[in-house]
A and B are shown apart, each in its own frame.
Chain A
Amino acid sequence: MKGGVMCFHHDSPAKAGVQGRRRGGGKAKAILAALLLLATASIAHTVEPSEMLADPALEARARAISQEIRCVVCQNQSIDDSAADLAADLRRIVRERLVAGDSDDQVRNYLVARYGDFVLLKPPMKPKTWLLWYGPPAIFLLALAAIIVYFRRRRGVVLAPKPLSADEAERLQSLLAGDGQSRDPV
């Protein structure tokens, strides 16, 4: 892999930061690093008591927004779920912006200005994400339409019955004439 190790603030031993992969350090170190990445999940307390805002309404907004913000140094976790130091920093920023009076959208835009759309766990509605948002419903409707067409076609297919043999034709006649004699059940 290109690039080398990135270092993150890992001052306090209780919170392990994320360590990148050592370039050229051999498989062993790579495996260790990959497992350490797994480790960030282990200490996942969400919000620390010291971070919480005094105003419960603002705190609730902060939690809701945090759940949609990606921890940029973790694997697919939200900053609400991650113990990484950078996640804590971002949580604090979210709360600061809310206290400063930003709306939810403004808080999100603040972070997007710095980290791009990558930081949003709910992809924004843009042409590049149309397939994500419109794709499944479109595929569903298309498939449903195809199935309906399939049913219509099959209704049109009438299997022509084989012509009766002479024996069968005779039997049919006698049955229709109702001569009352029992025959082999058809």
Chain B
Amino acid sequence: MIPELGQVALVLALALALMQVVLPLVGAARDNASWMAVAPPAAQGQLFFIGFAFLALMQAYVSSDFSVAVVADNSNSAMPLIYKAAATWGNHEGSLLLWVLILAIFGAAVGTFGNNLPPKLKARVLSVQAMIAVGFLAFMLLTSNPFARLGQPPADGADLNPLLQDPGLAFHPPMLYLGYVGFSMAFSFAVAALIEGRVDAAWARWVRPWTLAAWIALTAGITGGSWWSYYELGWGGWWAWDPVENASFMPWLLGTALLHSAIVVEKRDALKSWTMLLAILTFGMSLVGTFLVRSGVLTSVHAFATDPARGVFILLLLVVAIGGSLTLFAIRAPTLRDGGLFQPISREGALILNNLLLAVGCVVVFLGTFMPLFADVLQLGAISVGAPYYFLIFNPFAALLVVVTAIGPLLPWKRADLAGALQRLTIAAIATLLVAGLVWWLKTGGPLFGILGAALGTWLLVGTVVEFVERIGLRAPAEALRRARQLPRAAYGMTLAHAGLAVAILGMTGSAAWKQEEIRTMRAGDTVSLAGYDYRFDGVADVAGPNYTATRGTFTVTKEGAPVVTLHPEKRVYPVQGMPTTEAAIHTTGLADLYAVIDTPDAAGGVAVHLYHQPLVPWIWGGAFLMVLGGLVSLSDRRLRVGAPSRRRVMAVARP
């Protein structure tokens, strides 16, 4: 009964969305206030119906209703409750429902809280948002109905892939989707602005919180996925340049560029067309990601079950949404007149360079991801593009970006003295050289990129601190405290985010450059040394979990005799799918991770053991956390809630 109601709710949502597309758009063109006013309640109604449908699907999972096809395919009565709930989005149909739910949440939020938006812009924004909703709801109802019933329900479900039965599952996809789908808001704002023919500082101010929210979520989602694969998949890797990982990275790169170029639009009334283009392309990348995962054109560990018919539908959505908006861009963008003039060496110039490097980075990832496909279509013979390529081609641009990021905030708007800025960064340069020397001395024989990565991270970290210290004027401490308190939150946000990036880069460098491992067959009582730690293997035992059985090993880890930790890696077997998984045992010292993995014992009683010492890996997660924190602090800046600038005098605040 409830699944059928869920389906009806989706149909109603589609009807509302259609209304939300037509009436506000026509109303805005004709100055019809009552038609424009349809948008917010329609958006709220959509949220209600889609929310209902989502809860209906979740109820089917939680109650193990195996007459619903997706539940039978992806759930099992022995599964713990949290995974039953999270399995709602662990498959194609359910994740699509999550997609439209988040789309509806953002739409309703703008409808409800966007009171400072001029009515025409608000109407058009919600109309465009509803266009996307129509596309996806139609896609779901026509090809991927989550509420399809089975004629003969099985006695029990096929179980969720054991890899996905993990707290990370509850967190990673919704966060990612908040990001992907959140950028739809920037897209809607851009298209609405192009329809209206006007982009100004106010527009940039209004679009910022939504873009920032999406960026924060996407950063958190990507980091969560990375962390999850690190501890779940058992080889200590956190990024594989897998096509679907890349599909989440590309909108992140463009979204970061968008955040920065919107600042220029807001402060200096420049870079308008480029910002429009970025807003369209960022969401375009989200849609391309959706296409990748669900159409089967590329193989990936992440891909859902594939079906060419679905692929064609999504491609159609993509062409209409992005092709349409890019055509609108080609027609309307030339009419946008830029205001402020500026010199190449200026903060605007630095932000342009930032955008250029991020965009080219995105091009690198795009080419690497899709070149095998293009080669295939053109019958050029199969090629593969993996980590070695990205390492060589992506990293140089990233390195240049890191160098610029330390300098940019020190440059004033309009016209800057580069030599002066660099002089103020002398202490950062000294720190960089010191660290590079230290690394070269400590890790002699280590890879060159280790030194470079450490140097870049240090440069950015110290440079960011220098900028902050200068801004609050640390020379006069009493004055500094007062200035620090008066500093706009967005300034803190920037400092935290840039510092977070630096820390994350140091973490990535440490793990990639100085990882150590020991692989051997061990018996109970054997000891092995790795990176100054001694691991004594104490044998294995059989344990049982709620829906699995496992072989559990024990390692006693000591450092120079002093006990450090006891590690319990496991090798689990989930009987329903007959699938084994490894549960790595990880201990973090803050500066490094101790990582242990075991295999099942062989006939002679020896156990194949993999031990890893991963320096600075925790700093990846820490750095990402700082970036997310910076974003949140920025988001809480009250100035973002200021309405159209005419309403109050905006005091000259120089920095974002």
Q: Show the binding face of A for B, using Cβ within 8 Å.
A: 1, 13-14, 16, 27-28, 30-50, 52, 67-68, 70, 75-78, 81, 116-123, 128-129, 131-133, 135-136, 139-140, 143-144, 147-148, 151, 154
Contacts and interface: CB of A to CB of B under 8 A. Distances in A.
B68 to A, nearest CB: 13
B158 interface: yes
B388 interface: yes
B579 A16 contact: yes
29 contacts: A27-B305, A28-B72, A31-B73, A37-B303, A38-B161, A39-B581, A42-B163, A42-B580, A42-B582, A43-B234, A44-B234, A45-B234, A50-B521, A76-B240, A77-B240, A78-B387, A81-B237, A117-B383, A121-B387, A121-B389, A122-B392, A128-B381, A128-B383, A132-B385, A136-B364, A140-B397, A143-B360, A151-B343, A151-B344
A117 B609 CA distance: 33
B616 to A, nearest CB: 20
Contact of B393 (A35, A41, A81, A133): A133
Contacts of A121: 384-389
Nearest to A80: B235
Given A14-B580, A27-B73, A117-B384, 5 more contacts: A14-B600, A120-B384, A122-B386, A133-B393, A136-B397
A162 to B, nearest CB: 16
Contacts of A139: 360, 363
Contacts of A133: 393
B170 to A, nearest CB: 17
Contact of A45 (B235, B383, B387): B235
Given A28-B72, A42-B579, A136-B363, A123 B303 contact: no
B608 A154 contact: no
Interface stretch (B283-291, B294-302, B321-329): B294-302
B519 interface: yes
| Leading 6 A-B pairs by shortest Cβ distance | A121-B386, A122-B388, A118-B382, A31-B305, A35-B161, A128-B380
A34 B360 contact: no
B384 A76 contact: yes
Contacts of A136: 360, 363-364, 367, 393, 397
B579 A70 contact: no
Contact of B367 (A50, A132, A154): A132
A129 B368 CA distance: 10
B301 A132 contact: no
A120 B580 CA distance: 29
B376 to A, nearest CB: 10
A81 B519 contact: no
B597 A45 contact: yes
Output the residue of A45, A70, A77, A117 with the most chain B CB within 10 A. A45
Contacts of B599: 14, 45
A37 B610 CA distance: 23
Nearest to B344: A151
B448 interface: no
Given A121-B384, A128-B381, A46 B233 contact: no
A123 B240 contact: no
B142 to A, nearest CB: 15
Nearest to A33: B305
Contacts of A129: 371, 383
B393 A38 contact: no
